[in-house]
Amino acid sequence: MRTHLDSPVRYELPIGEDSVDINSLLGKAITLTFTGTILCIACGRKTKKSFNQGHCFPCLKRLASCDQCIVRPELCHYHEGTCREPKWGESHCLQPHVVYLANSSGLKVGVTRASQVPTRWIDQGAVQAIPVFEVSERRIAGLLEATLRQVVADRTNWRRMLKGSPDKLDMLAERARILSEADPLITQFKKGPDWGDTKKSSSNSVCEIMYPVATYPEKVKAHNFDKTASVSGKLQGIKGQYLILDTGVLNVRKFAGYELELNH
């Protein structure tokens, strides 16, 4: 889903060549039906099975965007000359990145391209976020994230995130605390060759995010188009990349490339 930071976040769902204002469907009964067709989001070819959120198998093996370093940026190997697509690496990995703290299912550390702020935070269902470090490339951001995750989690508990909004945190105080606890590790990192022009963020602005959710589920049950072709229910909310229905939740991003029909 496409997102726009507003109060609350505005969501648009691409269906074919159309873009549906999902916020306008809150409180209404909707049905999403999978037609059985899956098209690779990279090359457009028809595929029987989707890999890595919308790719066919050849693209999974060929594209740099499907490499392991996308999930673990500290493993970026562009500098070793082994990137699958050097030009893609230059436009995506050798760009300014941000190491941040977010409050989604609790406090976590993460990495994103500077150009993806605040989209990345919205996609994770964060209600608060603040930059910690500003770096010149993805690999260094990943190394710093790996350093900080020794003192703070780096994962979002998606089920907990979908059960409600976490307690608000003093994000400035939390950033100071994490930096203090990680200071020996950061000091050691500074002595290495990867620190470069990395700097601590001077921003004291906390991004506060509100989602269009009327009712959170008590129990989280996930819908899956690979098991059931049609999903119906009353739309109770939207958070992260999830539709919250009274019958269960649907991770829209997981089914990128699936041809769907929407009825409401």
Q: Where are the domains of the chain?
A: 2-48+212-263, 58-208
Tokens representing 227 are 């098991």
C-alpha span between 20 and 38 (Å, rounded)? 20
Tokens representing 260 are 């769907």
C-alpha span between 235 and 22 (Å, rounded)? 9
Identify the pLDDT of residue 192: 86
Identify the pLDDT of residue 15: 81
End-to-end CA distance of the chain: 18
Residues 193-241 have pLDDT tens digits of 888 889 999 999 999 999 999 999 999 999 999 999 999 999 999 999 9
Q: Beta partners for 238?
A: 243
Low-confidence ranges of the chain (pLDDT < 70): none
Helix 183-190 / helix 171-181 crossing angle, nearest 10 deg? 60
Q: Does the pTM of the predicted model rise above 0.75?
A: yes
Residue type, 118: P
Q: Given the DSSP bridges, would you call strands 18-21 and 248-251 parallel, antiparallel or unpaired? A: unpaired
Identify the pLDDT of residue 236: 98
C-alpha span between 229 and 162 (Å, rounded)? 23
Contact (Cβ atoms closer than 8 angstroms) between residue 131 and residue 213: no
